[in-house]
Amino acid sequence: MSSFYIEERDFGTFVNTLAQNTRVVGPVAKRQKFVFGEIGSVEELRLDYDITILPPKKVFFPPKQVIARFDADSVEGTIAPVDTVLLGVHPYDVRGIDMTDFLFRERNEDWDYLAQREATTIVASNVQKVAPRAFWASMIDTNEPKGHDAYLTKLDGGYVFETRTPKGEALLARGAFRDATGPEVAAAQSVNADALGQCQEQLPYTSAEIAKTIRESFSNEELWDELSKDCFSCGSCNTVCPTCYCFDMRDVWNLDQKSGTRTRYWDACLTKEFAAISMPGGGHENFREHHQTRFRHRFMRKGAYLNEKLGSPACTGCGRCSMACTVDIADPVRVITTIMEWS
């Protein structure tokens, strides 16, 4: 909507004031890496991060989320959103949030996710340091992120702050912002354009090409065997993915053995039991028994099924899966390129 500017020292005051009144979540250091965590003051905020271990989806879709509490004769839902400012989200992670917003909203609205999502103001920020396996530059042109409320770009001595929604505009009252000058806006555009050129990997195919070719590869067993032969079925690629949203539901008793919680946990389609059902006599029927079929399912989902629904692959190019995969077979650039070039 409009562009504003805030000096570096005023930015510190802005963040501190915000954190004193609202829950603020942003990138913070964790040993040699970064995570999204609650921040109490601007000193903890690390907008110079390259990538966080887990994506910010955990703010709306926590790894472990209590859905209902029960007692002997009663069950109650637990939806209780907390006003939150999510600060410093890189554009590729904003795309991931856009996608999960759509998926949790379509057909059946999942208010256990959406309530916290609507209670959150997202301030995106420019990428100051590009992660080594990132390829978001080649994923971004087809799908500009749109789920954020404001966008922050670091310049020497201050920040350009672009408001995108009324929620973003409301933040202006919390800090010493002034209108940005033309040169400041131009400098911010230049900084963001420069970052696009720094991704080392690229995926040079259109969304439609990817959807078509991946779908056509379904029955190519040799290809999927080759791509997945070292897969441990550990689910790390699922866990770190900004657009993975599969979950399990489990009941847990309290010590009184009468009350407890129904909780959803992140789940991973790569794991062996994911599609298994119990059969009489203690047996199982597993609809995706082999690691090849589970690996294929993940790429079908990302590259074809969700791609057809979202208009782009359910992949943000963040590169987290490439880094998390012990045997380095999850890299979407390598996998999709192999599929596209297989003959």
Angle formed at CA 64 by CA 59 and CA 70, multiple of 5 degrees: 120
- 305 in contact with another protein (CB under 8 A): yes
What x-and-dash track marks residues 6-25 binding another protein by CB under 8 A?
-------------xxxxx--
Nearer to another protein, 75 or 327 (CB): 75
Least separation, in Å, of the C-beta of 20 and another protein?
7
CB nearer to another protein: give 82 or 208: 82
Contacts of 250 (CB under 8 A, 6+ apart): 262, 263, 264, 265
Four-residue CA torsion sign, 123, 126, 132, 138: positive
3-state class (DSSP) for residue 284:
strand
Q: At a CB cut-off of 8 Å and minimum separation 6, what does 259 contact? A: 69, 70, 71, 72, 253
Smallest separation (angstroms) from another protein to the CB of 336: 18
Whichever of 7 and 12 has its CB closer to another protein, that residue is 12
Given 31, 76, 197, 343, the residue binding another protein (CB under 8 A): 76
Distance CA 48, CA 125 (A): 10
Between CA 296 and CA 287 the distance in angstroms is 13
> What is the edge-to-edge ordering of all strands in the sheet holding 2-7?
33-38, 23-30, 84-89, 120-125, 150-155, 158-163, 2-7, 178-179
Work out how close the CB of 254 gets to another protein at its nearest, in angstroms, rounded to a whole number.
9
Instruction: By CB under 8 A, tell whether 221 contacts another protein.
Output: no
Closest approach, Cβ 125 to another protein, in A, equals: 21
SS3 at position 340: helix
Q: Nearer Cβ to another protein, position 77 or 204?
A: 77
Q: Binding another protein by CB under 8 A: which of 28, 304, 318, 336?
A: 304
Q: Which is nearer to another protein, 109 or 230 (CB)?
A: 109
Q: x/- site string to another protein, residues 86 to 115, per CB under 8 A? A: -----------------xx-xxxxxxx-xx
CB 128, CB 78: distance < 8 Å? no
Q: What are phi and psi of 275, to 5 degrees?
A: -110, 20
> Taking the complex as a whole, how short is the minimal distance between the CB of residue 210 and another protein, in angstroms?
15
* Residues in a beta bridge with 178: 5
Q: Give whichever of 31 and 107 is closer to another protein, judged by the CB atom.
A: 107
| Binding flags for another protein, 251-290, as an x/- string (CB under 8 A) | x-x---x--x-x-x--x-x----xxxxxxx----x-xx--
Residues 224-253 contacting another protein, CB under 8 A: 245-251, 253
Q: Give the shortest CB-248-to-another protein separation in angstroms.
A: 6
Asked if residue 83 binds another protein (CB under 8 A), the reply is yes
CB 306 within 8 A of CB 102: no
Assigned token pair, 258: 């009468």
CA distance 169 to 135: 31
Length of the chain: 343
The DSSP 8-state label assigned to residue 193 in this structure reads: H
Residues 133-172 interacting with another protein (rule: CB under 8 A): none
Residue type, 254: N
How far apart (Å, rounded) are the C-alpha atoms in residues 281 and 283?
6
Could you say whether residue 208 binds another protein (CB under 8 A)? no
38 binds another protein per the rule CB under 8 A: yes
User: Which residues in the 55-74 window bind another protein by CB under 8 A?
Assistant: 67-68, 70, 73
In the complex, the residues that contact another protein under the rule CB under 8 A are 19-23, 38, 40, 67-68, 70, 73, 75-83, 103-104, 106-112, 114-116, 118-119, 218-219, 245-251, 253, 257, 260, 262, 264, 267, 269, 274-280, 285, 287-288, 293, 297, 300-301, 304-305, 308
